[in-house]
Structure 1
Amino acid sequence: MTDPVGPRGWGITLAKMWGPRFPVDPQIIALEYSAKRPDPISKVKAHPVDGIEGMLIQRESKAWYILYNEGIVVPGRIKFTIAHELGHYLLHRQSQEEFRCGQRDIIGAQNARALEDEANLFASYLLMPMDDFRRQVDGQQISLELLGHCAERYGVSLTAAILKWLEFTDEIATLVVGRDGYVLWSRSSKAAMQLRLFRRHGFALPAKSLAADGHAFDFDDRTGVSMPAGVWHPAEETKEMKIGSDQYDFSISLVLYPRTLSSVIHKEAEPAEDLLDRVMQPFQRRE
């Protein structure tokens, strides 16, 4: 059997081999699939690896170990980390004998390397098959509750599920992660990119947005809080959904723009956006 090509090909192939069962277990796949190879993954375990999320390392026996930080306690984050390292094994193990991956690499942060992006892309296709994801959301109003259902179905974080949804949705939407009033990174849907609706690293967050307010969380209205024109768009009202986190000093907001904007989508070449210069990543971060 010929090996699949690229991170998408590997992710789709292994997801189909796992079958229509969710959530996918990347640890079982890593151990069982690689067992047929002369340099298998022989161990997947927690390890006190300071400063990194996960690691893929080859031992003297030629076998590989996948290690993840024992401080990670959120199952979805562990699952994505293991899948990410499996991606390195399948795609990159011929190029080096050790991969050390930090949080900023796994979530596709500024200046992430191409190898990290490919491992993230593989993990997203393995854990969240696109055809199944589409069936979960088609014809429904997008809300944190709906995307949270998808996150639970696939055993990943809400942020990871949103990033996957942005990859294929026709909605005009942007996910913005900020700290201290400034953008850390952002990800936009294709339609939002065509409208040049994205936020670059280091730009100021809109002063009246929920993202800019470190204490503004609304868990009652899971469909979003209406933002007046001038906040996220100069002339249009938007909806902002803020994902709360008491454990990190950053904000995560999903911004939905009105569909009527699609009538003025630019036809010229799309501009480069932070974190979309290479490929998606979704990367796992607990909320």
Structure 2
Amino acid sequence: MRLKPELYFFAVVVALSAAGLDSWAVAQLPSLSMSPMLDCSGLPCADVTVGGSTHLKMLIDTGNPNSVLDLSKATELGVELKPLLGRDGKPYARYSAGTVKDVRLGDVALGDIEFLVSTLQPGIRKGSRPSGDGSLSYTAFEGRILKMDYKGQRVGISELLKADTPCPEICGTPTTPTFGKEGPPILATTGFQLNGKLITVQIDTLYGGTMLIYPTSVEKLGLAAELQSTKIRRFPYTDGGVEMIEGLAKTEGFEKHALMKNAPLYFATPKVHLPDGLFDGTVGQELFLGRVVTIDLHAHRFWII
């Protein structure tokens, strides 16, 4: 949607147009607190403080509704732990739950956050989990804007918003379908396209590939030939380490913008968890590199430039 400014705004609009869409999008956003985007096994993380003094290196995980904390760090922080109960009322053997108070990212106070607590180091040493003290899920940023600037290597968040932010051009609409009929709520959005066909995908910043298309969407997207590829790639941090079939897409993009041409395209093998046809696929790290990903978790909008 293009704005039609009054004449007395002409000079400003010309300046913004010369600077391009990036500058216009920034001009319209509320103030964001920016922090360095750190590297945790090749995936995005950031320095988080607790209680004003303790620093944690936390992954930014938009693919999970639950924030996670290593048991050793929870013990160091004196977090009171309680059993994590399943739907049958029985406790999970390797997990506890605990609330960490006064969590901050940059200059923004995220408040008190409940974490799943587990011993993460064995998985890190094994190579089935990326390094770090834990992760902040998308639910930690509810009511805020989360900006993942892969181009400038920064992570930005807003204070809690009271009003909707205008969409800078074309936005997708994030929703929280469950991952499978019995699975947890995940963050998905409209707006992405594959070979010119619009799809609904999970946004997963800890998925290391481009696009993963699930079996129930292969036929409707005309991908039967691509699925026959014999090329296999292993993703160590997805589902504890799984192999995927690697095909080729003509274009992978967002609305009318092609993000990648002749791009790797992935398909599930039997060990990959499936969402029971509730959405088409998952997008991740390799599609975001060199781009700026913005998720408005107040107005429920998504865009990538």
For this structure pair, what is the TM-score category when the shorter chain's length is used for normalisation? Answer: 0.3 to 0.5
| Structure with greater strand share of residues | 2
- TM normalised by structure 1 equals 0.32
- TM normalised by structure 2 equals 0.31
| Structure with greater helix share of residues | 1
